[in-house]
Structure 1
Amino acid sequence: MARIVITGLWICAITALSSFAVITWMPALPKPKAEEYLEGLTYQKLKPLSIPIIAEGNVQGYVMATMIFTADSHLLKGMGVTPAPFVADESFRQIYSDGDLDFRNLKKYDINKRLEEIRRRVNERLGSEVVKDVMVENFNFVTKKDIRS
């Protein structure tokens, strides 16, 4: 009986000492470097936009677009307003007023140029480089005849 008690105390002592050794040894390990580019960014997804496409005096259909943007989280905390409505407004304006976007005569479209223009104008309106990138999650055209009443 005494032998079992001494063995139990020996196991407890070894466990306690090894736990203490691991705790004191762990802080000396090198910490993995965090990727600095993504560290201060916040992703925000906008509600889907429904943008009418007008040609020859009639509504030809609607562009259904869902936009995502990244913003500097440090600057967002100091601002009194979120850039989401500005990105949505500028996206609507850019797509609505774009004369190159013709769904009757499809051709390759420079979406990167349009997204960069949205980012630039939003930052210009906000007065600082808050929005880092604007991305497209969904971009579809629905003709007027395909819309359900």
Structure 2
Amino acid sequence: MIKFVVIGVWVCAVTLASSYGAAYWAAGANLGKAEDPYLPGLEYKRVPTITVPMIMDGQVKGYVIAKLVFTADAGTLKKLSVDPVVFVVNDAFSEIYNNGRVESGKISKYNLKDMTDRVKEKVNARLNGPVIQEILIDGINYVDKNDIRTVANQQQQSSKGQDKGDAKPSH
């Protein structure tokens, strides 16, 4: 009987000692390890496609379609309480709308570097610091309003033609 009591006490002591040792080791592993500085580098964020109407003589003549990407420090982006994409879209739209030029149905040449620099400066001013490193142009295009209507009409006519061809005659 005494052997069973001694074995029980021994099992309890070993269990307690191993639990204490595991907890001490786990706690010591986190304390002894110095935190490495977070160096994630630059992060590329794609901005949704921006469609800017070009108004001349009080009428919409066409649309500038722009695809943008911006770079920012990933650590800084994680610390922000608001997504900078919204500000990039707003300021890019304003810049293209106010300073974009369309002449004789074509987008005229203007300095894209100056445009992206102005957008970057405005966004960084709103975010109270140098968040945006660079704004890149993935694509910029001008589409005339008449071209849009022509394509839409062609699509409608082709869909009507397919509907008639798909109909089966009843016997």
Give the C-alpha shift of residue 108 in structure 1.
Answer: 2.9
Give the C-alpha shift of residue 107 in structure 1.
Answer: 4.4
Match of 1:42 in 2: 43
Task: Please identify runs of 4+ aligned residues in structure 1 that moved more than 4 A.
Answer: none
Give the C-alpha shift of residue 106 in structure 1.
Answer: 5.7
Q: 1:80 to 1:94 in 2, by over 3 A?
A: same
Q: Find out whether 1:63 has 2:54 as its counterpart.
A: no
1:147 alignment partner, SS class: helix
1:108 alignment partner, SS class: coil
Q: Find out whether 1:121 has 2:156 as its counterpart.
A: no
TM-score by length of structure 2 reads 0.61
1:61 alignment partner, SS class: strand
How far apart in 2 are the matches of 1:108 and 1:93?
Answer: 18
Structure having the larger proportion of residues in helix: 2
How far apart in 1 are the matches of 2:112 and 2:79?
Answer: 31
Q: 1:118 to 1:76 in 2, by over 3 A?
A: same
Larger Rg: 2
Q: 1:118 to 1:62 in 2, by over 3 A?
A: same
How far apart in 2 are the matches of 1:106 and 1:73?
Answer: 34
Task: Mark the runs of 5 or more structure 2 residues left unpaired by the alignment.
Answer: 1-38, 153-171
Aligned length: 111
How far apart in 2 are the matches of 1:89 and 1:136?
Answer: 15
Match of 1:96 in 2: 97
Give the C-alpha shift of residue 72 in structure 1.
Answer: 1.1
How far apart in 1 are the matches of 2:134 and 2:103?
Answer: 26
Match of 1:147 in 2: 148
Amino acid of the structure 2 residue aligned with 1:66: K
Match of 1:130 in 2: 131
Give the C-alpha shift of residue 85 in structure 1.
Answer: 0.6
Task: Mark the runs of 5 or more structure 1 residues left unpaired by the alignment.
Answer: 1-37
Specify which structure has the bigger relative contact order, considering alpha-carbon pairs within 8 angstroms and separated by 6 or more residues.
1
